[in-house]
Amino acid sequence: MLEIFFLKLKNTLINNSRIFIVVLGIAVILSSSWAYEAYTQDVYEEQEELISSYTQHGKYTYTAPVTEKNPLYSKGSRLEMGKPMYFFAASPTLEVSLAYNLNATDSAFLRVECETVVVATSEENSGGSQEIIWKKEFPVEEMGYANIGNKDVLIHDFSVNVSEIRSKVIGIQDQLKYSSDTTIEIVTHVNYKGEINGEEINNTTDFALPLVINPAYYKMPEKLEFNENNYTYEKIIVKKEPSVSSIKLPLSLFLLSTILVGALIPCTKMNNVDPELIRRLKKEEKYSSVKEFVSKGKVPDNWSSLIQVEIYSLHDLVDAAVDMNERVVNDIESGVYFIIHDNILYVFLDVPSKESEDEN
Query: Which residues make Cβ contacts (< 8 Å) with residue 154, sequence separation at least 6?
Result: 99, 100, 101, 112, 114, 146, 148
- 352 pLDDT exceeds 80? no
- Dihedral angle computed from the Cα positions of residues 127, 130, 134 and 137, in that order, rounded to the nearest 10 degrees: -170
**What average pLDDT does this structure show over 18-45?**
81
Which of 68-82, 222-236, 345-359 holds the top average pLDDT?
Answer: 68-82
As a whole number, the mean pLDDT across the chain is 84
Strands 344-349 and 336-341: antiparallel
Residue 359 in this model has a pLDDT that exceeds 60: no
Query: Which tens digit of pLDDT belongs to each residue from 128-142?
Result: 788 888 999 999 877
Percent of the chain with pLDDT over 90: 40
Q: Which has the higher per-residue pLDDT, 184 or 5?
A: 184
Are the C-beta atoms of 350 and 337 separated by less than 8 Å?
Answer: yes
pTM of the model: 0.56
Cβ–Cβ < 8 Å for 277, 7: yes
Which ranges constitute the DSSP H helices of 41-136? none
Least confident of 156-165, 288-297, 298-307, 313-322: 288-297
Annotated domain spans of the chain: 2-43+241-269, 50-238, 275-359
CA dist., res. 243 & res. 246, Å (int): 6
Encode pLDDT of 32-70 as tens digits. Answer: 888 888 777 778 888 888 877 899 999 999 999 999 999
Averaged pLDDT for residues 17-25: 78
Between 4 and 109, residue with greater pLDDT: 109
- Quick check: 115 and 143 in contact, CB under 8 A? yes
Determine the pLDDT at residue 356.
Answer: 47
Backbone angles phi, psi at 312, to 5 degrees: -90, -5
